[in-house]
Amino acid sequence: MEDNPERLRLSGTGTLNHVGEALFMKWKVFAAVVVFALGISSVYAQQRRMEDVVDLRCDSLTSPLGDDNPHPAFSWKLKDTRIGAAQSAYRVLVASTPASLAKNVGDVWDSGRIEGSQSIGVLYAGPKLDAERRYYWRVLLWNESGKPYRASGNSWWETGLMDASAWRGDWIGYEDPEHAAVRAAHAAWVTNPEVANYKGGDNTRHDLRLSFDLPQAVASATLYATGEDTVAAWVNGRQVLSPSLQPPWGRLPWRTYASSDVTGALHSGANLLAVEALLFGHQTRSQTPMNAVLYVKFADGSSSVFKTGEGPWKSALEASGAWYTAQYQDDGWAAPTSYPEVRDVFGGAGDLGIPLQTPPVDALRKTFDVTKQVRSARLYATALGAYTMSVNGMRAGDQVLSPGWTDFRERVTYQACDVTSAIHHGRNAMGAWLAPGWYSTPLEWVGQGNNYGATPPALKAQLRIEYTDGSVDWVATDHSWKADLSPITSAEIYNGENYDARRDQTGWNMPAFDDHTWHAAVLVHPREPEIVWQSFQPIHAEQTVAPKSVSSPAPGVFIYDFGQNLAGVARIQVQGPAGTDVRLRFGELLNHDGTLYVENLRNAKATDHYILAGKGVETYQPSFTFHGFRYLEITGISAALAKSAVNAVVLHTDALETTKLETGSPMINQLWSNILWGQRSNFVGVPTDCPQRDERLGWTADAQVFWRTASYNMDLAAFSRKYATDLRGTQAGTTMYGIYAPGTSKPNTGFGPGWSDAGVIVPWTSWMQTGDLTILEQNWDAMQRYLDGIHDANPDYLWAYNGGIAFGDWLAPEGATSQTLIATAYWAYDVSLMQQMAHALGRTRDEQAYAQLFEKIRAAFEQQFVHPNGVVGWIPESSNGSGAKPLQETQTGYVLALHMHLLPEADRFAAAQHLVDRIAANGWKLGTGFLGTPYLLEVLSDTGHADVAYRLLLNTQYPSWGYMVEHGATTMWERWNGDQMLNDPGMNSFNHYAYGAVAEWIYRYAAGVDTSLLAPGFHVINLHPNFDARLGHIDFSYESAYGLIHSSWATAPAGFHWTVTIPANTSGRLSLTSAEIARYSVDGKALSVSSLSRTPAEDGKTVFTLPAGTHTFEVAKAM
């Protein structure tokens, strides 16, 4: 693998690229020949150690450009390896110039000396910030003895536009006449009249006819038609569209038009259009939605449109004979009726959507003159769609698929880029490519596009040029821009990108380009969402992966194996005759015959086409799509490309990776790699369920169960706030959070227990992991509305009503757990988290109210589901017979009851033993699904069964994590036995991170590094390593918000050797029983007589406090 070269970063939301260097730097003092030199060296080393105030961040980002927060939050880390090193006070200086900071003068704001150890979330409290201005800042610290550290280095942030009224640019775009005409047609969804008491066959046919006249010869014509589930069409008796067969996964992407060139089937005079929708498997349904547009361009350049909802259409159900010909007599047919739709809360398209195909990618350009010396230039841009921009041919930034994915009905982010170096004296040019992106690409398994608006993709941008004389010029998007179609003839998220290199216009984004044949850009008038700054990391190309091998399972078919499942695109170098169609197809697996397995992609084509220009070696890398794949199939070339000419480019949200893990188990090491790659693959703008098939949605259950693991693996402080905002957006018109975020066809496409709870769990998890209170404040009202909605519908404190979609413990091998049990447990869990968050926010009344509510839910749960001797179960409503109904139990039922603390304390031991007994009865294998698995090992460890937790972790039999590894997985699977489900492609992803939540247990329990409610964000570190010789050793490092935490243990002859490093300005807590204390020694002394401070805990244990620094323990084996 190769890292990409240095890139021009956008908006400060790129990788935090100074962090790794600063955090892993090790100062070395070299021995000197003379005593004097040695003394000088020691003093120097001490000074360098004492000066390490590092990793300065503003709003969780390093030097953000375009930050519109009026009260940005500052954070920093103290790097001091002395035992007990801590910050006792801080002073933040904000200045207008670096020169002021060098003198420790905060001429914008000086916080003054503030006593305390706070180093996260220090809010700016100075004068109102100016827009489009760079501010410089540093921090001064004092150590635990009151002595000053050397001042930190300088950092900066730069404000953006700060207010929506500052936008000068218009929304602009371009569509060719045909796409524009079809969009403007607004064809209606229609159907045949309803037939009462209809009883049909396996499939039903719904038929439409339109007779029409054409006044002159036809130059070109295209038919666009669709209907549920598939459509056929005829023009003048000639079949021009054929229906698709029902696929094994059941659904087709029918909410996007199928199209056909019908030029040769039309003629001047009378014509007949016939359209038939074929509805699969609805024997009693007499209607189905249909939609059609016929675009005709005449020889004289004029055009006409014929569409459903207008004109003398006729309809019938199950027509017989040659009904699609002009000779057929349709006198008995009726006029079609409108198919009813429900509008969303924003007044947009309803259930059926707008079936327009995605248009080609636009090229936009603007020239402008610069006649004065430039001090700085900033480009602010966004799109309803996806875009790239350049200035004088130089790419502005390197984000991928900007502005990313939000619910464009509600908000869209803008990006800021420093383009000073690209501006020169004289004539200049800006260029942009504008693609559909997530705004209008077909989404979900039925292929519904244009989810966020009826208008075409649009760009809004403005370039601010500041001169050395203090004057400012703006160049903004407006009607004066020029437009044309780019070489990218199609770009969709699921289906891929088509690039015709023959259409390249050399120098199109340069000043000297002749654009006289280009068109005027079109002003677009969308329903404008809120435009906000991009306060989180963007998507970047982070690394490239070379193929491990290449094979040819058939002549002209070449398959490249990258050895790793990932999300990204291919980059190829190829040459050949002009017009050669080089097809790139992607998949996760191979069939037994070595061909590409693509059935589990369902309707996603996942195919890129590159049409050669025929001008020597050509390099192609798609710009506006991505795929989930391990294998790349290339066809259309006569011989395989060299492996050096093919690479996979890995794309993901550019959050800094913060965890390192290595153990004595090769299987666990591979499992950890799989988990990390699963996260990389599915954190592409939003946390998706999978990166490959016709889904790729921000499923909330997957996210909430994985968020703790994810927040260890990457610094997600900013990204968590972004996703929490997406979650809030799903509450449009409802109190409930959606099952995925952002919304698609509707802001909220459904809700359900274990899924919607992400709205509470994600903010809580982020706060616990980072100490960031901002995310709690931003989401408090939304979280309250959600819980109020559940309570209003369930006054008896069992969540049995208004539960939405009953997904349950998804894909649990053991079978279903009571939905009411799951829902009530999650309700109680949310309430307990709200109690904790209320305490952190100083909401005393809310804290008390949620404490009381929890007890009421717990009591109702206990009455309904807890039976004598700690048995957790339920009596199924479907039980037959008049005798006693059997009590049902599952591993998940016990896991949730124990984890959510819904059992009487006296029953916890017995309930845990019942759980262990169920595991033992299952052959010492787990039986849990998406909701039970994440807490299983934690519950076992917390109840004294860590040995069983390790047994499950290290198991390689189905179902287990080890089974996936042993069967070749390089990412996590959706199913425990995905390799056995290839004949059931409807739901079988091989890159699905949910079961990777087990890494949380490895970090928190095996390595023993955990955060604490006493001071979230690892200001206080709970240490509870679970030693087990079967693992051999573990070496774990985590770059926390306060610095690097390291825990490493290994088996030793008498037990275990454990070393732990606590970063400066934090402390560790080691809670032990008296028997455990007797087994521990620290730094060569028995723990019982060590100098570590200790306090008794309520549970009878003793809590030892570890100051910052490195501590070494020897732990004897338990007798």
pLDDT tens readout for residues 986-1022: 999 999 999 999 999 999 999 999 999 999 999 999 9
Q: How far apart are CA 374 and CA 197, in angstroms?
A: 76
| 937 close to 953: Cβ distance less than 8 angstroms | yes
pLDDT of residue 885: 75
pLDDT of residue 13: 34
The pLDDT tens digits for 619-672 are: 999 999 999 999 999 999 999 999 999 999 999 999 999 999 999 999 999 999
Fold annotation for 540-653: Jelly Rolls (2.60.120)
User: pLDDT category, 877, cuts 50, 70, 90?
Assistant: confident
pLDDT of residue 35: 32
Residue 828 pLDDT > 90:
yes
Calculate the average pLDDT of the chain: 94
- Choose among 657, 643, 477, 473: nearest CA to 562: 643
Q: Do domains 659-879+891-1006 and 1020-1116 have the same CATH topology?
A: no
Q: How far apart are CA 787 and CA 828, in angstroms?
A: 10
Residue 1076 annotated among the catalytic residues of the structure: no
pLDDT of residue 167: 98
The CATH class of 177-338 is mainly beta
- Choose among 556, 533, 358, 528: nearest CA to 442: 358
The one catalytic residue in 497, 588, 974, 1114 is 974
Residue 102 pLDDT > 70:
yes
Average pLDDT of the segment spanning 752-764 = 98
pLDDT of residue 1074: 95
- Does domain 359-537 bear CATH number 2.60.120.260? yes
Residue 318 annotated among the catalytic residues of the structure: no
The pLDDT tens digits for 693-738 are: 999 999 999 999 999 999 999 999 999 999 999 999 999 999 999 9
Q: How far apart are CA 1111 and CA 503, in angstroms?
A: 65
Which whole-number Å values give the CA distances from 725 to 62, 115, 163, 773, 777, in the listed order?
Answer: 21, 33, 19, 15, 12
**Residues 6 or more apart from 878 whose CB is under 8 A from it?**
none
Average pLDDT of the segment spanning 432-461 = 97
- 841-855 burial: b if 16+ Cβ within 10 Å, else e: eebeebbeebeebbe
Residue 119, Cα to own-chain centre: how many angstroms?
28
pLDDT of residue 341: 78
**Residues 6 or more apart from 399 whose CB is under 8 A from it?**
10, 415, 538, 539, 540
pLDDT of residue 349: 58
- Look up residue 785 and give its two tokens: 């509305």
- Other Cβ atoms closer than 10 A to 682: 32
Q: How far apart are CA 770 and CA 772, in angstroms?
A: 5
pLDDT of residue 488: 98
Domain borders along the chain are: 17-60+69-159, 177-338, 359-537, 540-653, 659-879+891-1006, 1020-1116
Fold annotation for 17-60+69-159: Immunoglobulin-like (2.60.40)
Residue 344 pLDDT > 90:
no
Q: How far apart are CA 281 and CA 1063, in angstroms?
A: 63
Percent of the chain with pLDDT over 70: 94
CATH code reported for the domain at 659-879+891-1006: 1.50.10.10
The one catalytic residue in 444, 497, 695, 1114 is 695
Average pLDDT of the segment spanning 945-971 = 98
pLDDT of residue 884: 66
| 574 close to 612: Cβ distance less than 8 angstroms | yes
Half-sphere exposure of residue 969: CA atoms within 13 angstroms, side-chain side: 37
Residue 11 pLDDT > 60:
no
Q: How far apart are CA 823 and CA 812, in angstroms?
A: 16
Residue 453 pLDDT > 80:
yes
Q: How far apart are CA 590 and CA 631, in angstroms?
A: 8
Percent of the chain with pLDDT over 90: 92
Residue 29 pLDDT > 80:
no
- Choose among 922, 909, 822: nearest CA to 869: 909
The pLDDT tens digits for 1021-1076 are: 999 999 999 999 999 999 999 999 999 999 999 999 999 999 999 999 999 999 99
Fold annotation for 1020-1116: Maltose phosphorylase, domain 3 (2.60.420)
pLDDT of residue 16: 28
